[in-house]
A and B are shown apart, each in its own frame.
Chain A
Amino acid sequence: MHSNSQDFCNRNPNRRIVIIGNGIAGVTCARQIRKMDNSARITIISGETKHFFSRTALMYIYMGHMKYEHTKPYEDFFWEKNRLELKQTWVKKVDFEAKNVIFEDDEPLNYDILVLATGSKNNKYGWPGQELAGVQGLYSKQDLDLMETQTKGIKKAVIVGGGLIGIEMAEMLRSRNVEVTFLVRENSFWDHVLPPEESDMINRHIREHHIDLRLNTELKEILDDGQGRAKAVLTNHGETIPCEFVGLTIGVSPNIDFLIDSTLATKKGILADLYFKTNIPNVFAIGDCVEFHKAPASDRKNIEQVWYTGRMHGETLAHNLCNEPVKYQPGVWFNSAKFFDIEYQTYGWVPPLWDSDFNSFYWEHPEGKIGFRMLFESQSKIIKGVNAFGLRLSHAFFDQVIKERWNADKVIQHLGKANFNAEFYEKVHKDISKRYDLEMGTNVSNPKRNFLKRIMNK
């Protein structure tokens, strides 16, 4: 497609590259460009904070595990040393004709190449009362500061939306002994991603942390206390739950409002091809804000809103801006999260439901806090993916195993090699393989006997 790399972007030696957004996508892109292009002038703009920080760590600031400065992955001297200019201000709009970035309170900035890495914003649903004081989502540093003031000294909170940020918010509030009611529309926590057993394990764990988890419950309205503050929520079951704070965590969507009335093609996000090229020459989009015309793979989405993909977008675009462009081609899917004390890792493809073409093996520790699932093709037994709960698994191992399409028996047989738990931990892979043999009628847990049997059968 872009065989002529000259067409791809401006490649003049002193080109000025402007990146809007200093999140993982924008910053990774800038860092990698600098490694390959010593002469380009690179400016990173963000209104949120001057320096790059880890958005994923916002919760830990609130919980007192860290301070804001600890969430900065690079020391402040790093930027000047690598000649990455930082500008903290909000972009009002972009004049794509004149190639100018226009600010609310500063002179316009001219660019040769513009990288849009503007991330996401909180979804809002249109609930009555969602603009009241004490009601908010959590995405930015500003949201966190607001949450700090809005939750000072409160006793009761309601969180709406059973996703990853919702459960983080619940954990944050519990760390300060706030009573939390957690409204989840679905039958079970995060059940559009997790299979029933895993989802149920997390339901139990949420309740173990003294959270009032209400499944199958939707928000109808947030009630005003007469002074513009939230005093309670009303659910679809007609119940009124008093509270002083309402967390709305019903997902995020690309943060592109300031770009909408322009010639830039957008849908939910900024439309781009798999080289991150938008409809306007020399304008690219990466990270949470990009929407691919076509998903990068059959098991991937057009909009990817995770840290890791933001990083990969940044790396790949930097490569394309400095070399022969390549198509963005993410490898085996992986992700992770932590639900209170239970860590979650996933590799490959494990949907919440599957049809008879696939078979699943699930093992759970008797104490109910460690779980392992493997999904594989029914006929060929080729592995599709795994979920791990309370169990650390090696990324390298599963990347290889899934790429090389290993047989499920072989995966279980070698599961010990995938163990990434700390030393002296219970070796659960033995239990897992025994259970696997029991269910599948195989004999992988005892490869030695297997070997003897083979010899004797000969």
Chain B
Amino acid sequence: MKNIQIIGLAIFVLGLAIFSIIPFLGSYQLEKEMVADTVKEEHQEILLDILQPMYGKTYFSNFAFVSDYRNYFDQFNGELKEKEAWDEVIWDDYAFALTKASTKSEVKNQPFLFLGISIFASVIGALLYIFPLYRHQPEGIKNDGIYHSSMKSRGVLGIITGTYLILFYIILYWFPEYMTNLVWMVDPISMGLSGNPATQWFLYGLMYTLAILVMGIRMFRKYRGNKYQTLRTASVMFFQISFAFLIPEIMVLLNKPWHDFKNIWPLDYSFFYDYRMEGMLSSGAIGMFMLVWGIILIVIGVPLLTYFYGKRWYCSWVCGCGGLAETLGDPYRQLSDKSLKAWQVERYMVHGVLVLAVVMTAVTIANYFSGFGLLGNATNQLHSFYGFAIGSAFAGVIGTGFYPLMGNRVWCRFGCPLAAYLGIVQRFKSRFRITTNGGQCISCGNCSTYCEMGIDVRWYAQRGQNIVRASCVGCGVCAAVCPRGVLKLENGPEKGRVNDLPIIIGNDSITVKN
């Protein structure tokens, strides 16, 4: 490793360490006005009252503050619940908003300084590490040392990284009140973009985008000379920064609902939720466009583009989850499970989630049109179950936290309902396939090892069979790492796409049906 890379790595780790310490800095002090500013009208009176003991009191950690807050709040709710006075229970969670408002820290006072020494330092450190990669080496993909690397082969470093990511997601989804300092740190950026204060989701979106950009640059280095890899990486970087990050903030600036125009139901599972529908319907022409565009993508865009190009047009060129998997997750692609068993589990799971998403949405729409009648309660319960189990736990905690443990496409492979939908189209009605090159396969296993979707590519290649699989996201890495030029991703006539009885050319004595 060159010195500059060592320095880069050191800066990166330091930035990450500072980022991890920031939540513990500063103190917290709640004032009456804060409650008045943050809490909904109908809850104000009660909360102003029950939180009275906290006013003016300085807490030196967010743990102490949140714990006190929960005490008072739960005491109030607990009593009501005991009395089964369900209507009076406050279901809204004000912990994050109130903790954020109460935060007093240097981070809040000097957000740019802290942003600089944490997130931006990490970015710069990572870039210092990445730019010199493969510098004096000829073009070509080098997977050297991956299985000797603790980070990339489920060693101690990999497990630590996975654990860190999992913890981060758990805090982000369920305990954001502990990361208010971090949210304050990005507040000015959010204000600048949309004119609104930052939430934990803005922080997350910013980090997500930076991760894709930085690790996208790593992709350019790693797959240097491979045009397919370079172009699709540039594409996910573009879609992330514009469609997923900037345009939604601009929408908010224009007083329109936050909207990611490239996100498609059922990945975007809340698309048909009443608050989203109302948001779109009450936002004039742009809102109407959001709704119509979203529906066009579902009913025409997905089948048509998948017919012509395979599901890759979305999964490895456009999608945000795919974008993170293909950039941040690329170092872990080899960790996906290739066994037949994993494939069986995958098929049940991913299609199960699709069915669940469809049922949930059907109930939601029925409920919407029946005017929130009978189905109201069921819908809410379905929504919260889906949001918790699929939206947060599966897509977030497992989907990304498990990169270093189970590979970079755990969510896409086992959980994403949109991938399931795209996959069904790809399997049964598409021009996309991976063609194998006659008898050239030497069964080395590079393709299967580096397939992030856990497809045993070699199993097809060594028998001369085209790879037509629902799960293939067309990342093209199998073809890129094949040392014998056996695999080619292509769109072609449907005829001859699926060859169930393949013949390997080269032996004129007999025709072997494999």
The chain A residues found within 8 Å of chain B, CB to CB, are: 24, 32, 54, 56-57, 60-61, 63-67, 70-73, 75, 77, 175-176, 205, 208-209, 307-308, 311-312, 315-316, 319, 326-332, 334, 336, 338, 340-341, 343, 345, 369, 392-396, 399, 420-426
CB neighbours (8 Å) of A393 from chain B are 485
Q: List 19 additional contacts besides A64-B148, A336-B485; criterion CB under 8 Å.
A: A63-B145, A65-B146, A66-B449, A70-B449, A175-B144, A308-B439, A315-B507, A315-B509, A316-B507, A316-B509, A330-B506, A392-B437, A395-B438, A395-B440, A420-B488, A421-B488, A422-B488, A424-B231, A425-B227
Q: Bound state CA distance, A298 and B198, in angstroms?
A: 77
Docked CA distance A329–B508 (Å) = 5
Contact of B445 among A71, A330, A345 (CB under 8 A): A71
A343, B483: Cβ atoms closer than 8 Å: yes
Contact A60 B509 (CB under 8 A): no
In the docked arrangement, what's the CA distance between A307 and B509, Å?
17
Tell me whether A65 and B227 are in contact in the complex, defined as CB-CB below 8 angstroms, given that A205-B138, A308-B506, A420-B488 are known contacts: no
A to B CB contacts below 8 Å, 28 in the list: A54-B442, A60-B444, A64-B143, A64-B144, A64-B145, A64-B146, A64-B148, A65-B146, A65-B147, A66-B446, A66-B449, A73-B443, A73-B445, A205-B138, A312-B509, A316-B509, A319-B512, A329-B508, A336-B485, A338-B484, A340-B138, A341-B140, A345-B440, A345-B484, A399-B438, A420-B485, A423-B228, A424-B228
Complex Cα–Cα for A396 and B504 (A): 10
For the complex, give the distance between the alpha carbons of A336 and B140 in Å: 17
Interface residues on B, range: 35 or more
Residue among A70, A175, A328 with the highest chain B CB neighbour number at 10 A: A70
Q: Are A54 and B440 in contact (CB under 8 A)?
A: no
Q: With contacts A208-B138, A330-B507, A392-B485 known, is A66 near B440, CB below 8 A? A: no
Interface residues of B in 132-176 (CB under 8 A from A): 137-140, 142-149
Q: Please give me the 5 A-B residue pairs with the lowest Cβ-Cβ distance, nearest first.
A: A395-B438, A341-B140, A392-B485, A57-B444, A424-B227
Q: Are A63 and B144 in contact (CB under 8 A)?
A: yes
Q: Give the interface SS of chain B, mostly helix, strand, loop or mixed.
A: loop
In chain A, what residue has the closest Cβ to B485? A392
Does the CB pair A209–B138 fall under 8 Å? yes
Contact A420 B445 (CB under 8 A): no
Q: Are B488 and A392 in contact (CB under 8 A)?
A: yes
Find out whether the CB atom of A338 lies under 8 angstroms from the CB atom of B483. yes
A342, closest chain B residue (CB): B140
Task: Write out the residue numbers on chain A whose beta carbons fall within 8 Å of the beta carbon of B218.
Answer: none
Contacts of A421 in B (CB 8 A): 488
B459: chain A residues at CB < 8 Å are 73
- Given contacts A308-B439, A340-B138, A341-B138, is CB(A70)–CB(B512) below 8 Å? no
Q: Does B505 contact A (CB under 8 A)?
A: yes
Q: Which residues of B contact A308 (CB under 8 A)?
A: 439-440, 506
1/0 per position for B300-331, CB-CB distance to A under 8 A? 00000000000000000000000000000000
Inter-subunit contact A66/B228 (CB<8 Å) = no
Contact A327 B488 (CB under 8 A): no
Is B479 an interface position by the 8 A CB rule?
yes
A419: nearest chain-B partner, CB-CB: B488
0/1 string, B186-222, CB within 8 A of A gives 1: 0000000000000000000000000000000000000
- B438 contacts A75, C-beta separation under 8 Å: no
